[in-house]
Amino acid sequence: MKCVLSIAGSDPSGGAGIQVDLLVFRSLSVQGLSVVTAVTAQNDKRFYSLNPVPSTLLREQLRAVLQFKRPDAIKIGMLGTEGNVLAVFRFLESEKFEAVVLDPVQQSSTGAVLLPAKGMAILKDFLIPKVTVVTPNLDEARTLTGLKVRTIDQMKEAALNLYDSCRGVKAVLLKGGHLEGDPIDVLYDGREWHLFEPRERLSHPVHGTGCAHSAALAAYLARGESIPSATRKAKRYVTAWMRSRGRPVRSSVPAP
């Protein structure tokens, strides 16, 4: 069984963060490992508090995980502090993993800030160049590039900007869930553009969609899928996950 490590925050409601990542990994037949970056008090209606772990504890967790098992892929979510961004950067720099998905979480679905502006700048300069795929939504893409991102053409411009300015990242996936029209995702891998249209648009919001999406993408990469193929399957997975209102769904593709 392939193995995926989630480096993310804890959500006591189970609707986002590490809790939902582990559910997604299990439903896609990969073993899940976890390193906690922060403990939050939140649910799908309200965010109460963010309590990041010290970067020393984050490093100790990462060391303990590697002594137990080396993951086939890594999913990075909320980091919470500049120190934690740098701790994960140093971890990736020293260990050289083949598949790393970074969801550059800036704020919760309820609007709480989860990484200050300086932390986002450090994430762009240091962490994004070390990952395989970065998966910003439209607001995160605007923060990272300074560009207006509200149309498909603007998404392409922002993706190209991130790819060129973060030398080392293999692909940029801009998620179109906040587009006014169909929620089309745009992937640029340095050679080709890939647009992923949804099979349907769901009217109801679901807490933790970005977490589930990036977790599914990491799981498919761990299972040997190419970046475009993993992105396509992750899009289908998260659409089904949203349809089920956050309940894990089984993959139609058998695990290798």
pLDDT per position as a tens digit, 48-97: 999 999 999 999 999 999 999 999 999 999 999 999 999 999 999 999 99
Domain range for 38 is 3-243
- 212, part of any domain: yes
Q: What is the CA radius of gyration of the chain?
A: 16
Q: Is it the case that residue 254 has pLDDT exceeding 50?
A: no
Q: What is the pTM of this model?
A: 0.93
Residue 42 has phi, psi (to 5 degrees) of: -160, 165
Q: Is it the case that residue 11 has pLDDT exceeding 70?
A: yes
| E strand segments, 107-226 | 133-134, 171-174, 185-188, 193-196
Q: What integer pLDDT is reported at residue 56 of this predicted model? A: 98
Q: What integer pLDDT is reported at residue 203 of this predicted model? A: 57
- 256, part of any domain: no
What are 173-205's pLDDT values in tens digits?
A: 999 876 777 789 999 999 999 999 875 665 566
The CA distance from 70 to 65, in Å, is 7
What total number of domains does the chain contain?
1
Provide the CATH number for the domain around residue 215.
3.40.1190.20
- 254, part of any domain: no
Q: What integer pLDDT is reported at residue 176 of this predicted model? A: 87
Q: 230 vs 97, 173, 196, CA distance in Å?
A: 17, 11, 12
What are 98-116's pLDDT values in tens digits?
A: 999 999 999 987 788 999 9
The mean-pLDDT minimum among 7-21, 105-119, 135-149 falls in 105-119
- Region 198-225: what's the mean pLDDT? 84
- 251, part of any domain: no
Helix axis angle, 152-165 relative to 138-145, nearest 10°?
50
- 186, part of any domain: yes
Q: What integer pLDDT is reported at residue 181 of this predicted model? A: 72
- 249, part of any domain: no
What are 233-253's pLDDT values in tens digits?
A: 999 999 888 887 655 566 544
What are 14-52's pLDDT values in tens digits?
A: 889 999 999 999 999 999 999 999 999 998 889 899 999
- 148, part of any domain: yes
Task: Yes or no: say if 77 and 5 are a contact pair by the CB < 8 Å rule.
Answer: no
- 248, part of any domain: no
